[in-house]
Amino acid sequence: MPLPATEHLHPDAPGLDTRPLRDVANLLLDGQLAALQAVRPALDAIAQAARLMAETLRNDGRLAYVAAGSSGLMALADAAELGGTFGIPADRIRLSMAGGVPVNATMPGYTEDDSAAARAAAAETRPDDLVIALSASGSTPYPLAYVAAAREKGARVVAIANNPDTPLLQAADIAICLETPPEVISGSTRLGAGTAQKTALNIASTLMGIELGHVHDGMMVNLLADNEKLRGRAAGIVSRITGVPQEAALACLERSGGAVKPAVLLAAGHSETEAAQALAATRGRIRDALSDLQTRKTN
């Protein structure tokens, strides 16, 4: 059986350990840059995945990230940021990583073969959930078993893998194939393959945030402002959108309980009731809500 591309030997690998570290560093960077190029051909599929992610959340479904090893760490990085960046509630995000999320430097490899644990983790899957499964090889038993069990529950699947025509991609509603070249360190998919996976996830979840109306002119208008830095950022967002001074923006955020979107509408001169109604009518899109309220006042 031929080895997957992620296990091939890199052309520059022979004698790698005899070269100056500065030269090897160049090779490693070139490997990362080459891996990033694998994302561009997959952008259409990534955009489709983002639309499905947004649709899932709008319909009260959950996003279930599933992976093992390095892919699991990429999934964790994306899943854990959705709350702070886009205000996605924690109960709408699930993460199933083979062996569990590591709490120290121990991450045993054998857990990726534990199909029984994957099926158990998928037991609470609901039909309106969306599974986002990752595997560099595309054949890791843990995400494969999870996907099979989730499909039996009626869930849809987005799959990300770095080898084409693999079982994980074949099991997906939306298949994102990132054909990264061989790693400079053969099989070490925490390098190029991981970089491509993280980039694809970052793009997909950001597009999802835009689709949900949580981004306005490149600003995170549904962020969770739970520290001093983010409270300052939230006030800056309200000020930039409406032109009110920082102090007025802070006062509006106080009135809105820290929520940026209604604070913007308050700063634009609308009442709490008007803000709530406009945001509900426009599915949380500030631009449309501002336009809607302006039209009502004009009429």
The set of catalytic residues is 81, 112
Using alpha carbons only, give the angle 108, 111, 112 rounded to the nearest 5 degrees: 110
- What DSSP state is assigned to residue 240? H
Sign of the CA dihedral running 290, 293, 296, 298: negative
- C-alpha 136: how far from chain center: 17
Backbone φ/ψ region at 60: left (φ over 0), alpha (ψ -120 to 50), beta: left
Tokens of 12: 């520059």
What 3-state class would DSSP assign to 214? Answer: coil
Query: E strands, the chain, where?
Result: 63-67, 93-97, 130-135, 156-161, 174-177, 215-216, 219-220
Q: Which of 69, 79, 106 is nearest to 191 (CA)?
A: 69
Does an H or E element contain 221, and which?
none
Distance in angstroms (rounded) separating the CA atoms of residues 23 and 256: 55
Query: Which amino acid is it at 263?
Result: A
CB atoms within 10 A of CB 299: 5
What 3-state class would DSSP assign to 269? Answer: coil
Distance in angstroms (rounded) separating the CA atoms of residues 96 and 75: 9
Tokens of 150: 């989730």
Strands, sheet with 130-135, edge to edge from the N-terminal-most edge strand:
93-97, 63-67, 130-135, 156-161, 174-177
